Amino acid sequence: MELLSLELNENENHEMFNNIKIITNMEESDINIEIVSSDEGNIRIRYFTDDKINKREYIEKIIAKITKLLIEYTKLESINFLKENYCYFDEAELSAIIEDIEDEIDNDVKIQLIIKNKFKEISERSNLINLNGFINFRLKFIKLYSAQIVERCIDSYLMKRDYMDFISIIKLISDADETSYDVVNVICNNKTLQVYDNNMKKLTYISNEEFAAELNNKVAYNETVINILLSVSPKKIILHEANLNNGNKEVQNTIEIIKKIFEGKIEICSGCKYCNLLQ
């Protein structure tokens, strides 16, 4: 019993054709596949089974595979749009943006459902579907979607690049500053990060408006903690992680900034008498 047949042409869409293994490797042993090709580059993939009872289940599995192929096609469309329209990025920058694009599309449940439902709608009308035609007429919106994804990922990349550049500058300034403390402790107390000297005396807020202004719109962080550390410029920072609130985004962002700025000066404490006192 035939479940579904697909037709596609290698010459119309090389990239999709190159990923054909996605739809020709079925884990389900009761689904048989027959592949017939012609000299013109046309290929027909026929799915069939002897198990009539589970027909609906098998069709759903085939459609899931086809959806995966079309998601890969969407990624390639997005990457092509990036390379054609933003040629001023170097290879390293392109690689970083492409990784973001692929992650965005992989995690976009909405686009996956749209593609799946559009294909399912066609499959309910006919057992024979031309994939090239389906893409050209039913997935026209993919080009616009790809452009939006690319632009969003570029914006995100540029923000991250600016953030990392600024962190690097601050790190250089911090390294050059004269050290006023040998050791300071960063510990979570009352659900917020606080800074203490070697005798566990709390250090107070010292303003650094320039740093705050640069980071304020880029990431949520504890401004006070960063300003204190930059002001005292310690030789070593003991980071007490035993009682950190891992669910607090501000805390996690602040820890990340500390590790970047004071790289090489961080000592991790996984539990001590001070950690126990503040739990």
pLDDT digits (tens, 9 = 90+) for 109-127: 999 999 999 999 999 888 8
Q: How distant is the alpha carbon of residue 273 from its chain centre?
A: 38
For residues 234 and 182, the answer to whether their CB atoms sit within 8 Å is yes
| Lowest mean pLDDT, pick from 70-74, 95-99, 177-181 | 177-181
| Residue 232 reports pLDDT greater than 60 | yes
- Residue 163 scores a pLDDT above 80: no
Q: Select from 235, 169, 225 the least CA-distant residue to 194.
A: 225
266-269 and 236-240: which strand pairing? parallel
- What's the confidence (pLDDT) of residue 213? 52
pLDDT band at 166 (very low <50, low <70, confident <90, very high): confident
Burial 247-260 (b: 16+ CB within 10 A, else e): ebebbebbbebbee
For residues 118 and 35, give the distance between their C-alpha atoms in angstroms, rounded to a whole number.
24
pLDDT tier for residue 23 given thresholds of 50, 70 and 90: confident
pLDDT (0 to 100) of residue 134: 92
- Rounded to a whole number of angstroms, the distance between the first and last alpha carbons of the chain is 65
Structure tokens at 22: 């996605």
pLDDT of residue 93: 93
Would the pLDDT of 16 be above 80?
no
Report the run of H or E that residue 259 belongs to, with start and end.
Answer: helix 249-261
Q: How confident is the model at residue 103 (pLDDT cuts 50, 70, 90)?
A: very high
Name the residue ranges covered by the structural domains of the chain.
2-168, 178-277
User: How far is Cα 51 from Cα 88, in angstroms, rounded to an integer?
Assistant: 55
- Per-residue pLDDT band at 8 (split at 50, 70, 90): confident
Query: pLDDT > 70: what percent of the chain?
Result: 88
Number of Cβ within a 10 Å radius of residue 119: 20
* Amino acid symbol at 182: D
DSSP strand pairing (183-189 vs 192-197):
antiparallel
Per the CB < 8 A criterion, the answer to whether 97 and 83 are in contact is no
On the question of pLDDT at 13 being above 70, the answer is yes
Residue 92: its pLDDT value, please? 92
* Mean of pLDDT over the chain: 83
pLDDT band at residue 108 under the 50/70/90 scheme:
very high
How far apart CA 19 and CA 17 sit, in angstroms, is 5
> What pLDDT, on the 0 to 100 scale, is given for residue 215?
53
Prediction pTM value = 0.67
CA–CA distance, 229 with 258 (Å, rounded to integer): 8
Options 2.60.120, 3.40.50, 1.10.287, 3.30.420; which CATH number does 178-277 get? 3.30.420
Token pair belonging to 218: 């880029």
